[in-house]
Structure 1
């Protein structure tokens, strides 16, 4: 018996969608996205990746077995609402949003075939990047492991995967904000390389590359980070007073004004600090 070829649709087409699509296509999976309402950058990225292109969301919804939502946090609910009742497959929310936002998004998917998913690490590792999933249909999503994905089902309840993602984000983005603050001061004092050397002794040989990546990514993705931290604060408020996470959120909210426009990701953190200092003059 010939197995039916699975059809995956991506809602949103940025770094996550393009990276996963490229490797899934290489493994014979049919991958598509929708051009409707997307930025010029997303359109060009989709075309260069080689995925199937639909002019309307309706076409994408009608032809997909699995829809993966990978949009900015502010669009997680609205994109689910646009999908609506015409979808018969499995809807996977992979956005960096709180369990409350995930559950709100799922109210707009009437068939109930929903999966709470979370990407646990940088997508640069492609299909090997760990993804956790929870919910009644998480096992359906995990069937994509046969195509090289690294999906772990952690529980039967919606909110478990996104909750863990929020906790990880609180830590990683909090560290990034603290790192930015400390290294900016060190850079102005002209002792940043010395600070980097001493921290490498305690943090390990990977620290210089990791620190540079955190600092440049914080600046380049600051608006998205701010939205993600707003979700973290909303989530943590249910359990504690998120003093540090709230400050981290405020840091990322203010960063775009400090750096000014950043059309491409800087290669070195010094470029970021020079822009910040120039804009303060």
Structure 2
């Protein structure tokens, strides 16, 4: 049986790919809320109740959780003798640290939305047993690709990719907020419509994404900052973007809400 901790929106979709292949997939319900329980039931997962029992019954465990919980999740599996794959949005150094808690480790990074449709989402993997994890997803909507034997490589790719997608969203929100603060937002948008016609809509989309997901992106951006530092580049880029998402908070669905929170009004 394959284990998954914990089936959020991404984790449940990844697990459903495996269930649809005819594989048994377990999860641990202890301490989980009704939304998680509902996703697990819809995906056809087997309830092992506790993480300890999950570890006993599963030959492979996939960790797909909010990035701030990735290390703690690995610590809960300390001593696990099966194959542990961390598929979370963490820096290469954090990925290496996670690998120190388990005997057999594969580093992974997911790029794209929850994999419901073929071709939308990629799973990048690194480690000596990466091909074992990749083979689980043969013929599923989730496309798995092995980068090589070095753990941390998949996390590095995920972080560098997300630096653009999430980092530019944070920057657009900061730009719109600064423009409003100085009273030149309308003039900025008019100039964008002439010279950068995609940016007005992109800034609206950035606000919607931040309000829905920024609460977990904030930690991911901090990890991106650590990744840049590991490459001897300034870490402040990631830290600033993390602060933007942290200040936006959770709830709401429009640009005005995001800007109001960033301005502290």
Q: How high is the TM-score relative to the length of structure 2?
A: 0.84
Structure 2 residue aligned with 1:4: none
Q: Name the CA distance, whole Å, in 1 between partners of 2:193 and 2:5.
A: 43
Offset at 1:253? 2.5
Structure 2 residue aligned with 1:245: 238
Alpha-carbon spacing, 1:17–1:195, altered in 2? closer, same or farther (3 Å):
farther
Q: Name the CA distance, whole Å, in 2 between partners of 1:29 and 1:277.
A: 46
Offset at 1:154? 0.8
What is the aligned-residue RMSD (CA, Å)? Answer: 2.8
Structure 2 residue aligned with 1:85: 79
Alpha-carbon spacing, 1:201–1:275, altered in 2? closer, same or farther (3 Å):
closer
Q: Name the CA distance, whole Å, in 2 between partners of 1:122 and 1:198.
A: 31
| Residues 67 and 91, structure 1, Cα contact 8 Å, conserved in 2 | yes
Alpha-carbon spacing, 1:134–1:192, altered in 2? closer, same or farther (3 Å):
same
Offset at 1:152? 0.7
Q: Name the CA distance, whole Å, in 2 between partners of 1:225 and 1:179.
A: 15
| Residues 216 and 272, structure 1, Cα contact 8 Å, conserved in 2 | no
Residue of structure 2 aligned with 1:69, choices 63, 83, 87: 63
Q: Secondary structure at the match of 1:123?
A: coil
5+ residue gaps, structure 1, are: 1-6
Q: Name the CA distance, whole Å, in 2 between partners of 1:190 and 1:47.
A: 48
Offset at 1:33? 1.0
Q: How high is the TM-score relative to the length of structure 1?
A: 0.80
Q: Secondary structure at the match of 2:128?
A: coil
1:179 is aligned to 2:172: yes
Q: Name the CA distance, whole Å, in 2 between partners of 1:115 and 1:248.
A: 28
Offset at 1:177? 0.7
Residue of structure 2 aligned with 1:215, choices 203, 207, 214: 207
Structure 1 residue aligned with 2:149: 156
Q: Report Cα offsets for 1:133-179 as digits up to 9, x if no partner.
A: 11111111111232413111111101111111111122222100122
Residue of structure 2 aligned with 1:272, choices 252, 257, 262: 257
Aligned length: 259
Residue of structure 1 aligned with 2:14, choices 14, 17, 20: 20
| Residues 211 and 258, structure 2, Cα contact 8 Å, conserved in 1 | no
| Residues 167 and 221, structure 2, Cα contact 8 Å, conserved in 1 | no
Alpha-carbon spacing, 1:277–1:56, altered in 2? closer, same or farther (3 Å):
closer
1:166 is aligned to 2:151: no
Q: Secondary structure at the match of 2:18?
A: helix
5+ residue gaps, structure 2, are: none
Q: Secondary structure at the match of 2:245?
A: helix
1:39 is aligned to 2:33: yes
- Larger mean CA deviation between 123-132 and 33-42 belongs to 123-132
1:11 is aligned to 2:2: no
Q: Name the CA distance, whole Å, in 2 between partners of 1:195 and 1:60.
A: 56
| Residues 169 and 206, structure 2, Cα contact 8 Å, conserved in 1 | yes
1:96 is aligned to 2:89: yes
Alpha-carbon spacing, 1:276–1:176, altered in 2? closer, same or farther (3 Å):
same
Alpha-carbon spacing, 1:160–1:96, altered in 2? closer, same or farther (3 Å):
same
1:54 is aligned to 2:48: yes
Alpha-carbon spacing, 1:36–1:198, altered in 2? closer, same or farther (3 Å):
farther
